[in-house]
Chain A
Amino acid sequence: MENLFVGAAEGLRNTLSGVGLTGVWNDALLMLVKLVGILVFILINALWLVYMERKVAAFMQARIGPNRVGPKGLLQTAADIGKLISKEIPIPKDADKVVFILAPCLIFIPPLMVFAVVPFGQNMVAIDMNIGLFYFFAIASLSTMMFWMSGWASNNKYSLLGSMRVVAQMVSYELPLVLSLLGVVMITGTLSLTKIIEAQAHMWFIFVQPIAFLIYFTAAVAECNRCPFDLVEGESEIICGPFTEYGGMGFAMFFLAEYANVMLISALATIVFLGGWLAPFGWTFIPSWVWFFLKMYLMIFIVMQLRWTYPRIRVDQLMGFGWKVLVPLSLANIFITGIGVYIYRALGW
């Protein structure tokens, strides 16, 4: 069970060399299979998360949620996607057509790119980059562009308001996001995600860096435009923000990309703070990749709970909170971590 995917990859490699394909071609084909596997995993997960969100919301609100389409409503997302595919994608009259169509096409790129370096289990990472965390920071900030493009191209004042808010929000909350993870980098001395997981063999970093975890979590929820920071798509004020003018599959792309983003930040939280695929208390009878999924889904569940409990924050309060509270806190965290590391090394532990 533990080596299900690793064994399958080995088997594929042996089959390919048996057929006669060796060396570079063998590796390239295997890499292609891994990447396609990850893509399929993310997209199916995004579909599942739509259903999970609706059920979690319903149970928090004393309702039942989808329960008609398929057993217990499991095929609801399929029905929704089918409906959205069959809809017309209206393009507003004076909209910038190229940018308007381009935005939903490109929105999936950042989350999919970062998942290539995420270790799903022991020896289960597509590309073991030694600057994995830095790669995450670099690519994740690209999502801002797509929201900005869609808001500007819509030729709609509400969308414009939404996209300006997006730029302000996502740029401001990148800083606490990066700074909070720097504490972990200082302790482990490496940016590679696999080595960060290995360094947590004795104790997970959430206990060593609790403040950093909270700052990271808050900043990550803000990066995903989820409530309480969802003023970008703040329904009751600017209707849908940058996505107001999109219908059909265009809207579905934004919708699913939001869930891919939530998965991404949950996966990062799991890797950096919760020990990745390491089993707590040494319970290794459950495979490592199952542990990874369980922890990731725990974080996703907490994100969903937050969404349906809290109201929305206002834009100037958001900026105030980000710059005046989170950034100084994360700098203080780095300072304390630095002193801690120095003392640790000086005492020779």
Chain B
Amino acid sequence: MRTQEYVLNFGPQHPATHGVFQIIMTLDGETVVKAVPICGYLHRGIEKLAESRTYTQVIPYTDRMDYMAAMLMNLGYVQTVEKLMGVEVPERAEYIRIITGELNRLASHLLATGVYALDIGGLTGFVLCFRERERVMDLFEELCGSRMTFSYMRIGGVSEDFPEGWLDKLSNLMKMMPEYIEEYNGLITGNEIFQARTKFVGAVSAEEAINYSFSGPPLRATGINFDLRKQRPYGIYDRFDFEVPLGERGDSFDRFHCRFLEMAQSVKIIEQAIEQIKEIDGPIMAKVPKVIKPPKGEAYHEIESAKGILGYYVVSDGSNKPYRVHVRRPSFINLGMLDKMCPGWKIADIVAILGSFDIVLGEVDC
């Protein structure tokens, strides 16, 4: 029987590409023979724009890259500039950064879990995860006025202290989280159809993961224990006690499961930080000049963002605007292996694989 291969445009407009991402697939029936991913539909020239803005004006741009975990994007940038300037951040500000950063990591992972369930077809999981995410976003709105693009961190500290009663509300939410996580476990992770769709799909070996510079959950799913918060602790992460969940096979289920288990670890860190911040009082911003002019030089700093290792490279030429800002974006680099990983799987599996990497197009395209 004569069959024909055809080209399907898994186009920028598609419910499952997590944004405007295109894969031009050559299909034989339902099996992918060749896949050509094309990104760049959301390119806004952030790195170029940063060259004509002052150092503080670049902070809102960093929000818009990974808009799901904006606090962590802010954190990476301000810590790089602080490294360049040699500024020491006060104790209370460090704790506030940890709390808001981990809370944002929790929100980002909630979204990743819900949206992955949606991609596989279980719509109820999606709505339930968003129910919790709404609570987190309400807290953030109370704190800094914004639900998604916070621009909360500043070079030298944070912009606002917690309002009254905020820490108690956060504490209540953290007490309820383990119960919700159990609910998702039953509905999504434990579901047999979900496991059949994601186990052994898109498996990556540890060697391939290192060769392709994977970071974050895709790397830890292959079994490699590399979390920047433990390897090269930045800020005050060395004061907290938490585990790093690892996977075994490096398939889609493990990537998803690492993210799922990291939610519980974020809750643990936040609870410890809330306990420790009660004794600490003080300024939330270091003494930095109003016009930030770092000395001539360059600095590169990496943090563990929700999607992987986020790195900022800032070059200063002595003026109040950076000479060059480059961002090492984890979503972009994690996608490097996509065209090698796709052939051999069915269309439904491509959706599962892409969803398990948890990309945010704002970060992929910058």
**Which residues of chain B are near A234, meaning CB under 8 Å?**
121, 348
Chain B 124-163: CB-based contact to A (< 8 A → 1; otherwise 0): 1001100100000000000000000000000000000000
- 10 A-B pairs whose Cβ atoms sit less than 8 Å apart in the complex: A161-B30, A161-B347, A227-B121, A236-B118, A236-B351, A310-B122, A310-B191, A311-B121, A313-B193, A315-B346
**Do the beta carbons of A311 and B348 come within 8 Å of each other?**
no
Q: Does the CB pair A314–B197 fall under 8 Å?
A: yes
Q: Tell me which of A60, A228, A308 contacts B193 (CB under 8 A).
A: A228
What is the distance, in angstroms, from A212's C-beta to the closest C-beta of chain B?
22
Complex: how many Å from CA A63 to CA B351? 27
- Whether A314 and B122, one on each chain, are in contact in the complex, defined by CB atoms closer than 8 angstroms, is no
Distance in angstroms from B168 CB to nearest chain A CB is 24
Q: Which residues of B contact A230 (CB under 8 A)?
A: 121
Q: Give the distance in Å from the alpha carbon of A238 to the alpha carbon of B14 in the complex.
A: 9
Q: Which residues of A in the span 301-322 have a Cβ within 8 Å of any Cβ on B?
A: 308-317
| Residue numbers in B under 8 Å from A157 (CB-CB) | 6, 8
CA distance A62 to B130 in the complex (A): 11
Residues of A within 8 A of B194 (CB): 311
Q: Is B123 an interface residue (CB 8 A)?
A: yes
**Contacts of A15 on B, CB cut-off 8 Å?**
none
Contact A61 B124 (CB under 8 A): yes
Contacts A61-B128, A237-B351; A315 near B122 (Cβ below 8 A): no
Let me know if A106 is at the binding interface, CB within 8 A: no
Determine whether the beta carbon of B15 is less than 8 Å from that of A312: no
Mask: chain A, 60-89; 1 = CB below 8 Å from B; 0 = not? 111100000000000000000000000000
Q: Is B30 a contact of A311 with CB atoms below 8 Å? A: no
Residues 271-296 of A contacting B (Cβ, < 8 Å): none
Tell whether A237 pairs with B348 under 8 Å between CB atoms, given A311-B117, A313-B197.
Answer: yes
Type the 1/0 row for B204-247, where 1 means its CB is closer than 8 Å to any CB of A: 00000000000000000000000000000000000000000000
Q: Residues of B contacting A314 with CB < 8 Å?
A: 196-197, 346, 348-349
Interface string of B171-212 (1 = CB under 8 A from A): 000000000000000010001011011000000000000000
Give Cα A101–Cα B100 distance, bound, in whole angstroms: 56
CB contacts (< 8 Å) of B131 on chain A: these are 62
Complex Cα distance, B119 from A38, in Å, reads 39
Interface of A is mostly: helix
From residue 131 to 165 of chain A, which have CB atoms closer than 8 A to chain B? 157-158, 161
**Sample of 6 more A-B contacts, CB < 8 Å, known A311-B117, A317-B197:** A57-B123, A60-B124, A62-B128, A237-B347, A237-B348, A309-B187
Chain A: minimal CB distance from B155 (Å) = 41
A40 sits at the interface (CB 8 A): no
CB contacts (< 8 Å) of A61 on chain B: these are 123-124, 127-128
Interchain nearest-CB distance for B48 vs A (Å): 35
| B16 on the A face (CB < 8 A) | yes
Q: Does B299 contact A (CB under 8 A)?
A: no
Whether B196 lies near A317 (C-beta < 8 A) is yes
Separation of A231 and B117 alpha carbons in the complex (Å): 15
Q: Chain A nearest CB: distance from B32 CB in Å?
A: 12
Please give the distance in Å from B30's CB to the nearest CB on chain A.
6
List the 5 shortest-distance A-B pairs measured between CB atoms, nearest first.
A312-B121, A311-B122, A311-B121, A61-B127, A311-B120
CB of A236 within 8 A of CB of B124, answer: no
Which of the listed residues A63, A228, A309 has the most CB atoms from chain B within 10 Å of its own CB? A309
Query: Are A310 and B14 within 8 A (Cβ)?
Result: no
Q: Which of A231-254 contact B (CB under 8 A)?
A: 231, 234-239
0/1 string, B342-362, CB within 8 A of A gives 1: 000011110100000000000
Inter-chain CA distance A309–B117, complex, in Å, is 11
Q: For the complex, give the distance between the alpha carbons of A9 and B338 in Å.
A: 67
CB distance from A57 to the nearest CB of B (A): 8
Query: Closest residue to B118 on the A side, CB-wise?
Result: A236
Q: Chain B residues near A308 (CB, 8 Å)? A: 123-124
> Which residues B104-121 have CB closer than 8 A to chain A?
117-121
- Find chain A residues with CB under 8 A from B347 CB: 161, 237-238
As a 0/1 sequence over residues 27 to 61 of chain B, the CB contacts with chain A under 8 angstroms (1 = contact) are 00010000000000000000000000000000000
Q: Which of A57, A63, A161, A312 gathers the greatest number of chain B CB atoms within 10 Å?
A: A312
Contact call A311/B16, Cβ cutoff below 8 A: no
**With A and B bound together, what is the CA distance between A311 and B115 in angstroms?**
12
Q: Which residues of A contact B193 (CB under 8 A)?
A: 228, 310-313
Query: Which residues of B are found within 8 Å of A236, using beta-carbon distances?
Result: 15-16, 118-121, 351
Nearest A residue to B350 via CB reads A237
Chain B nearest CB, measured from A308 CB (Å): 5
Interfacial chain A residues near B196, Cβ < 8 Å = 313-314, 317
Instruction: Give CA–CA (A315, B127) in the complex, Å.
Output: 25
- Are B30 and A310 touching (Cβ within 8 A)? no
Task: Name which residue of chain A comes closest to B198, CB basis.
Answer: A311
Kindly identify, within residues 50 to 66 of chain A, every residue whose CB is under 8 Å from any CB belonging to chain B. Answer: 57, 60-63
Contact assessment for A309 and B118 in the assembled complex, using a CB-CB cutoff below 8 Å? no
Closest to A315 in B: B30
Contact B348 A231 (CB under 8 A): yes
Contact pick for A235, options B15, B30, B128, CB 8 Å: B15
Q: CB-nearest residue of chain B relative to A62? A: B131
Contact yes or no, A63 B127, CB < 8 A: yes
**In the complex, residue of chain B having the shortest beta-carbon distance to the beta carbon of A307:** B123
- Measured CB to CB, the nearest residue on chain B to A236 is B16
* Bound-complex Cα distance A230 to B122 (A): 11
- Nearest to B348 among chain A residues (CB) is A314
Which among A235, A237, A309 is the interface contact of B124 at CB below 8 angstroms? A309
